[in-house]
Amino acid sequence: MAYGAQFMNSSGGVVFDSSYPALGVIKKQTIASYASQSTTRYLYTYPGSASPIATGVSYLINVPTIQNGINCMPLFQLPSNGDYCGPDSRYGTNDGPITYRSNLSSITFIWVAPMNLLAPGSSAYGVECWDESGALTYSSDQVLFFVRGSLASDNPPVGQTGLAQTTVGSSDWFCMENCHHPMHATGNTGIRNLFPSALRRQSSTIVEKRNNYSGWPNTPNIPASQYRDNWGLHGLASAV
C-alpha cells in the first residue's frame, strides 16, 4: 500500500486498512413493535420436523435505515434465550424501509455507517486514519462496530427444515436483511415471502438460524440456484 495504515492480527489477517472506511455507530434506539395481522409464525424444529418451536404473536418492527441523513445499517440484539428476529421479505413501510418480525415487543437497534460519512471525533487521544483524499476512515475516538464473524456459512440447508447455529457472544449485535433471501416468483419457488427465516438465541453463546414453515405461500420450496448463504454478520459495538 502506498499510504495509510494496516493493522494485522496474529494470523496475518488484516483487521483494518485505512484505505477503506471502518464502521462507526451512529445511533442506538429501542423500537416498539406492534402485533401484525398475520400473527402466528412457526420456526422449524431440528432435524426435519415441522413441529413449531415458536408460535404465537409475531410482532412487526419497522426500522428506518436513514439516521442523521446517512443511509446506514441496522443491527439488533437478542437478549434472552428464545428470542428471535428475522426480516420480513415483502416490503418496507413508509416509516421503516426494513421490516422485521420477532417475538419481542420491542427491540434495541444500533445503526452503523462507514466512518468517512461521519464527523471526526474530538478527543485528544487515540488513533485516526485518513485516506489519500482526506476522508477519515478510522478513529479510535468514535464508537466503532467490530465484526466478530459472519452468519454466512452455516445457513439451514435448502430442504428448509434445518437448523444451523453459530457461536456468538451474549451481547453481540446481529445484522440480517431481506435482500439475501431468494425471490419467490409466481408460486412456491422461493422464500421471499413474509418471514422466511429468523435468528434465534439458543443460549448465551449460541444463536440458531431457523426457517419458517408457515406463511404465504405455505411451504416455500427453495431452489438451490436461488439460495443465498451470505446474509448476516455479528459483532460488538465498542460502547453503546
Does 186 engage in binding with another protein (CB under 8 A)?
Answer: yes
Binding mask 119-148 for another protein (x = CB under 8 A): ------xxx----------x-xx-xxxxxx
Q: Do 81 and 73 touch, CB atoms closer than 8 A?
A: no
Residue type, 236: L
Nearest-angstrom CA–CA distance, 196 and 217:
10
Please choose, out of 34-42, 101-109, 157-165, 181-189, the segment that lies near another protein by the rule CB under 8 A. 181-189
Q: What are the DSSP calls for 153-191, one per residue?
A: TTPPPTTS--EEEEE--TT-EEEE-GGGSPPP-SSSSSS
86 scored as a contact of another protein (CB under 8 A): no
Among 38, 65, 108, 188, which residue sits at the site for another protein (rule: CB under 8 A)?
Answer: 65
Which residues does residue 109 pair with via DSSP β-bridges, in sequence order? 29, 76
Vertex 32: Cα angle to 175 and 113 (nearest 5): 35
In the bound state with another protein, the residue whose beta carbon lies nearer, of 85 and 143, is 143
Smallest separation, CB 37 to another protein (Å): 15
CA proximity to 85, closest of 43, 23, 36: 43
Using CB under 8 A as the criterion, which residues of the chain lie in contact with another protein when the complex forms?
A: 7-10, 13, 15-17, 20-23, 65-66, 71-73, 89-98, 114, 125-127, 138, 140-141, 143-150, 152, 175, 177-180, 183-186, 192, 230-233, 235-236, 238-239
